[in-house]
Amino acid sequence: MRKPPTYERYLAPTEREPLAGFSAIAHHFWRTAERIRHEAMEATKGRSWPVDWTVHSAICLYHAALDGFINETIAFAIALGGPSDKGLVVQGNTLNVGKLNDFFSYFGLESKVDQKVLDRVKLLAELRNRLGHHWPEMRDIRDYPRAVVAALNDAGITPVNTTWTAQCADVRLAEWSANVVHDFVSEWWRIGRRGDDLEQAHWAFGPELMYPEPSD
């Protein structure tokens, strides 16, 4: 588990009383990823192989949006009186199966979540790791990292005779990533939303994640 960041006073003191709050950035990652994806879709419209090199960035941003959404949901729960020690454990984990399980366990929802949703998030997290922590090797280009193969298969993308990094620039993989995040957030609001908290949380998460619409 990663340790929480350390803080120091940066802003000059004012006459106002201290105002407590937490930062929210997940919805900005989501909006940027969506903008990149839609621009890539326009740029590749009509192509038999819809590849755009901005797709890698979109995939990583979708991953960051989901990780941020989980951490911000925990921060909001702690602000409403939830246990901070368990919450910090969730926030301190990287986006993996353990973090997903701990997240739903924090709210007592581990038995209600759709396992298929979690399995696809795992695929997205492992795909992002292969892109974000790129580890190139001299080898036969027909060999792909297993995490990449799993994501491409789940996305239903037909193989093209090229490198795995080029294959991952397919805009359909960005669309798949958007759907994975959308499905997770939808699953959370299906089993975890509480009416009293909904409007209070709207300002933090933004309308795209509070009321997600299916990706184009």
pLDDT of residue 1: 62
8 Å CB contact between 152 and 173:
yes
8 Å CB contact between 168 and 124:
no
pLDDT of residue 172: 97
8 Å CB contact between 36 and 54:
yes
Q: Say how many residues make up the chain.
A: 216
Q: What share of the chain is helix, strand, coil (3-state, %, to 5)?
A: 60, 0, 40
CA angle, 175 then 25 then 116, to 5°: 40
Alpha carbon separation from 150 to 39, 184, 187 (Å, rounded):
26, 18, 22
pLDDT of residue 211: 41
pLDDT of residue 194: 57
Place of tokens 């992002």: 128
What SS3 class is residue 51?
Answer: strand
Phi, psi of 39 (to 5 degrees): -65, -40
What SS3 class is residue 170?
Answer: strand
pLDDT of residue 214: 45
pLDDT of residue 183: 93
8 Å CB contact between 208 and 31:
yes
CA distance 157 to 179: 15
pLDDT of residue 131: 96
pLDDT under 70: residue ranges of the chain: 1, 15, 17-19, 193-216
